[in-house]
Chain A
Amino acid sequence: GQNIDQPTEMTATEGAIVQINCTYQTSGFNGLFWYQQHAGEAPTFLSYNVLDGLEEKGRFSSFLSRSKGYSYLLLKELQMKDSASYLCAVRDKRWDYKLSFGAGTTVTVRA
Chain B
Amino acid sequence: DGGITQSPKYLFRKEGQNVTLSCEQNLNHDAMYWYRQDPGQGLRLIYYSQIVNDFQKGDIAEGYSVSREKKESFPLTVTSAQKNPTAFYLCASSMAVTVYEQYFGPGTRLTVT
Hey, which bits of chain A sit against chain B, CB under 8 A? 1, 4, 8, 30, 33, 35, 40-45, 48, 87, 89, 93, 96-104
Contacts and interface: CB of A to CB of B under 8 A. Distances in A.
The secondary-structure label for the interface of chain B is loop
A104 B42 contact: yes
A4 B42 contact: yes
Contacts, number: 50
Interface of B: 35, 40-45, 48, 56, 58-59, 88, 90, 97-98, 101-107, 109
B42 A48 contact: no
B98 A97 contact: yes
Given A1-B59, A33-B101, A97-B97, A102 B42 contact: yes
B105 A42 contact: yes
A73 to B, nearest CB: 15
B56 A43 contact: no
Interface centre among B35, B59, B101, B109 (most CB of A within 10 A): B101
Given A48-B101, A103-B42, A98 B48 contact: yes
A47 B44 CA distance: 20
Nearest to B107: A42
A98 B58 CA distance: 9
Given A43-B43, A96-B56, A97-B97, 17 more contacts: A8-B40, A40-B88, A41-B106, A42-B104, A42-B106, A42-B107, A44-B104, A45-B103, A48-B101, A87-B43, A96-B97, A98-B45, A98-B58, A99-B43, A99-B45, A101-B44, A104-B42
